[in-house]
Amino acid sequence: MSFKVLVSDSLAKEGVEILKKAPGIEVDVKTGLKPDELKAIIGQYDGLAVRSATNVTADVIAIAEKMKVIGRAGIGVDNIDVPAASAKGIVVMNTPGGNTTTTAEHTVAMMMSLARWIPQATSTTKGGKWEKKKFMGSELFNKTLGVVGLGNIGSIVADRALGLKMHVLAFDPFVTQEKAQAMGIELATLDQIWERADFITVHTPLTDKTRGLLNKDTFAKMKKGVRIINCARGGIVDEKDLYDAIKEGKVAGAAFDVFVEEPVPADHPLLTLDEVIVTPHLGASTDEAQVNVSIAIAEQIVEYLTSGGIRNAVNVPSVSPEALPTLQPYLRLAESMGAMQAQLAQGNLKKVTVEYAGDVVNLGVAPITVAFQKGFFDAITEGVNYVNAPVMARERGIEILESKHSKAEDFASTITLRTTTDKGEHVLVGALFGKNDVRIVRIDEFLVEIVPTGTVVLFENEDVPGVIGNVGTAMAKHGINIVQMYVGRTPSQSGTAMSVVLLEKPLTEEQVKELGSLPAIIGVRQAVLGK
């Protein structure tokens, strides 16, 4: 059997050669295709290799009749409609480890350039000036670096900073104290980082929780003279508030590799400031990284097409084709529960127990446990798939336990997640209704019945009249459409209840605060599913 693979973005020649030399594979390299041009030819290909330029939309996927695998040479798959590919049975792969070191090194280079004014001094010296006094720098030795997000890239940055004899504070609620101590760093809250750090670098995905994470309020809490580095995602730092903080003298400088709008507009206010260093999204731009991701994705595509082997798939676990149809609803349920728990559980994570009860114990539950981990980490970081999710848990020192019970109390099968943090235990229970309909049936001590999709907002409230009306009125004031609402009580009817609301889009931080101030509301939490 022969297969055709289209390479539609620039791939290093080493990767293209692997595809061309593979027996039974014919390769076409056609870069710079316009959407209509891609649609005109995509139907003849079994495989597609892309980077970030090609947008593999649902429209493209719909007419890709022969397509079996899409490979992204890089971490992010935001230019690929993964749900559409999954619905059509197309495997989507990425290369999550290919860019980590180079992005971390770029962050360190930006920090050192920021401390010593290297780009600015280079520019004026080449312009015929000799301004030693103007560019008085700052040592990194004995300074405190605040790392927000201790995933693959953040961990490497922290390690390199320790080599420079810096003190490292890190915020990551999914890293245990034991793991942090082993790395030689100090876990801290965000407020502690704002108050103590001389340099702050962010390494989180851009989500509704991290958008504008560094803003005028957080800048006000920081030390005078702090320096900010963002080589992660544009939007994590509020660019207007940063401009104001630099002009006011609160922030001494900033180094940005990413912006909200890219290419960055020529009239962007930050570009007018001498205190700001910028690069055009170069985090992954090294010869080694480009070659590594190209080789990796080429090998993965060849392996899948020729032998069915799956590596670094973002939408398919390692399950035999025969078992997948039976396991699929449980995998969806576990992944949704993991994503919910990552966003709802409070405190630093220590241990997770996955309990299986009923008919599900007769299946191979290992992939279901992996699906939970995939959903969990996908909600808090990038580059997560069914292969590397368990590795992420081990690297963070998180203990994952399994237990099985032959009988479920109220359903044919249930999956229970017990998440232990330094603030207590958080519980989610999921079940299947029929063969395919997934539901969350318990949140902590509250009995509920919700479909885990979209935006889920939890209101813990006093069990008194008027709560639902107040919530509905507040939502209507902001034009927010409620898709579904469910009110759950504890079995003991202890005087508190939980109202669960499903929305079409997430609430803003201000809206969450407003809803939390309503009469009889004890607390509000939000989880965004289907990232």
Q: For residue 62, how many other CB atoms are within 10 A of its CB?
A: 14
For residue 268, indicate whether it is catalytic.
no
Lowest mean pLDDT among 5-14, 187-196, 323-332, 472-481: 323-332
Locate 167 and state its tokens: 């003190």
Q: Each residue of 460-499: pLDDT tens digit?
A: 888 888 888 999 999 999 999 998 888 877 766 668 888 8
What span, in angstroms and rounded, lies between the C-alpha atoms of 205 and 104?
15
Mean pLDDT computed over 508-520: 91
Q: Kindly report whether the peptide bond that precedes residue 263 is cis, defined as omega within 30 degrees of 0.
A: yes
Q: What is the pLDDT of residue 493?
A: 62
Contact 488, 448 (CB under 8 A): yes
Q: What is the pLDDT of residue 275?
A: 97
DSSP bridge pairs for 224: none
Q: Which residues contact 81 (CB under 8 A, 6 or more apart)?
A: 56, 57, 58, 61
Q: What is the pLDDT of residue 106?
A: 97
pLDDT band at 339 (very low <50, low <70, confident <90, very high): very high
Q: What is the pLDDT of residue 521?
A: 93
Q: What is the pLDDT of residue 137?
A: 94
Mean pLDDT computed over 95-107: 89
Provide DSSP, 228-276: EEE-S-TTSB-HHHHHHHHHTTSEEEEEES--SSSSPPTT-GGGG-TTE
Catalytic residue among 262, 462, 504, 509: 262
Cα dist from 330 to 300, 325, 364, 390, whole Å: 26, 10, 11, 18
Mean pLDDT computed over 24-32: 96
Instruction: Say if residue 433's pLDDT is above 90.
Output: no
pLDDT band at 391 (very low <50, low <70, confident <90, very high): confident
Q: What is the pLDDT of residue 491?
A: 64
Q: What is the pLDDT of residue 418?
A: 93
CA 31 to mean position of chain CA atoms: 28
For residue 262, indicate whether it is catalytic.
yes
Write the DSSP symbol of residue 44. Answer: G
Q: Which residues contact 479 (CB under 8 A, 6 or more apart)?
A: none
Instruction: Say if residue 448's pLDDT is above 80.
Output: yes
Lowest mean pLDDT among 94-98, 234-238, 296-300, 506-510: 94-98
Q: What is the pLDDT of residue 338?
A: 93
- Phi/psi for 276 (5° steps) reads -110, 130
Kindly state the percentage of the chain with pLDDT values over 70: 97
Start-to-end C-alpha separation, the chain: 36
Q: What is the pLDDT of residue 37?
A: 97
Catalytic residue among 233, 332, 396, 426: 233
Mean pLDDT computed over 246-274: 96
Q: What is the pLDDT of residue 424?
A: 86
| SS3 of residue 482 by DSSP | strand
Mean pLDDT computed over 294-301: 95
Instruction: Say if residue 332's pLDDT is above 70.
Output: yes
What span, in angstroms and rounded, lies between the C-alpha atoms of 413 and 421?
26
Q: Each residue of 187-242: pLDDT tens digit?
A: 999 999 999 999 999 999 888 789 999 999 999 999 999 999 999 999 999 999 99
Instruction: Say if residue 397's pLDDT is above 90.
Output: no
What span, in angstroms and rounded, lies between the C-alpha atoms of 341 and 282?
34
Mean pLDDT computed over 143-153: 95
What span, in angstroms and rounded, lies between the C-alpha atoms of 330 and 178?
32
For residue 395, indicate whether it is catalytic.
no
Lowest mean pLDDT among 312-321, 323-332, 406-415: 312-321
Burial of 188 (0-12, 13-18, 19+ CB in 10 A): buried
Q: What is the pLDDT of residue 320?
A: 62
Catalytic residue among 51, 281, 426, 442: 281
Mean pLDDT computed over 317-326: 68
- Phi/psi for 438 (5° steps) reads -95, 145
Whole-model pTM?
0.70
Q: For residue 209, how many other CB atoms are within 10 A of its CB?
A: 16
Mean pLDDT of the chain: 91
What span, in angstroms and rounded, lies between the C-alpha atoms of 43 and 66?
6
Instruction: Say if residue 322's pLDDT is above 70.
Output: no
